[in-house]
Amino acid sequence: MLLTYYADLILKLPPSETRWSPAGTQTLVSHFPVGVVAAIVPWNFPQTLSAFKYAPALAAGNTVVLKPSPETPLDALLLAEVAHKAGLPAGVFNVLPGATDVGRALVTSPGVDKVSFTGSTSAGREVASTCGRLLKPVMLELGGKSAAVILDDPGLDLTEFAERLFAATLLNSGQTCFASTRILTSRRRYDEVVDFFTAMAQSLNIGDPLDPSTQIGPLVSAAQREKVERYIKQGLADGGTITTGGRRPPHLPDGYFIEPTIFAGLDNRSAVAREEIFGPVLTVIAYDDEDDAIRIANDSEYGLAGTVWSPDHDHAIAVAGRIRSGSVGINHYLPDITAPYGGIKNSGLGQELGLEGLQGLQNIKSIFAV
């Protein structure tokens, strides 16, 4: 779909346009490829996040070097075979598997004209530092710790949004950068919301990711599960209460599984509320009023995404406008390929998707034609 979208979009955009100044002079403004784009992608949605990068880059006339994560190289190699069979000329689309040293080599290579990186904030800082030193353009889509703001509006029935709440909070076993892992609710409804998410987590089918009925699969590695377990211990040490989950499923001894975990009794100062866990762990946090809810939502070093939940659409839109993040979903979360997607603060620099994602992979030249 992304390839078709950008193929159509590039044909609709004029390669250049004429602009006239108030003094009557003429300038030709043209767009041209940046050159070689290094696309460095993570393991959590390898094919989707790769397409976010190579689809607009190829449409804009660039060549691409795709570096997949060491955890997920095989589908990238299959993609290279598909590109070859589709008739792309040699050297236009390249796949370069490897670990961190390969990524560093790509970022520092004088043959790479722009870096497009999706990954952790810590790794993104290193990429940004190197690109800054080299004066090399860079796009960064980094971590997140998004808030799901549940408004205290009349008529709100969370069961009506159950499937969409699951997708916005626990998709891909919580290994999703935009996941709304901080659940903000009014004190009046706190127990009700805790009970809802507890019941939702308990109802989820944990098991084989190849089984269509599975809702929570394993984490990507033993190291990732150990990281999630350290955060769970930290949440307990900070005074939180686990209402469900928090352990390895006893019926699944093989695989890096962890039960969906709901924390209650913590505020926004706790580690599990402030740091990206990248696992199926949600923290329910109480707010006093709407202004307090927005304050808590914005009290984060991240600014990638967020959600607002209410039967009052106009009210939800108004609240979403006050949340400091690159995107906000109303009663759901799903990026739109026609709209820009990216973060602010420690969640990144630049945009992917939409027209903006294509323009970020082009250089601009002005010819003052008089």
- From the list 69, 272, 5, 41, the residue with the least C-alpha distance to 141 is 41
CB 279 within 8 Å of CB 228: yes
Catalytic residue selected from 17, 71, 163, 177: 177
Parallel/antiparallel/unpaired status of strands 146-150 and 307-309: parallel
SS3 content of the chain, % helix, strand, coil (to 5): 40, 20, 40
- Burial profile 258-295: b = 16 or more Cβ within 10 angstroms, e = fewer: bbbbbbbbbebebbbbeebbbbbbbbbbbbeebeebbe
Strands (E), 290-342: 307-309, 329-330
Catalytic residue selected from 131, 141, 229, 276: 141
Element holding 241 (H helix, E strand): strand 241-244
CB 306 within 8 Å of CB 325: yes
Would you state the structure tokens that stand for residue 190, as one six-digit string? 């706190």
Spatial distance between the Cα atoms of 47 and 323, rounded to a whole number of angstroms: 30
Spatial distance between the Cα atoms of 214 and 144, rounded to a whole number of angstroms: 25
Active site includes 177? Answer: yes
Would you state the structure tokens that stand for residue 319, as one six-digit string? 């609240």
- From the list 123, 56, 126, 101, the residue with the least C-alpha distance to 361 is 56
Active site includes 141? Answer: yes
- The residue written with tokens 């029935």 in the block is 157
- List, by residue number, the catalytic residues: 141, 177
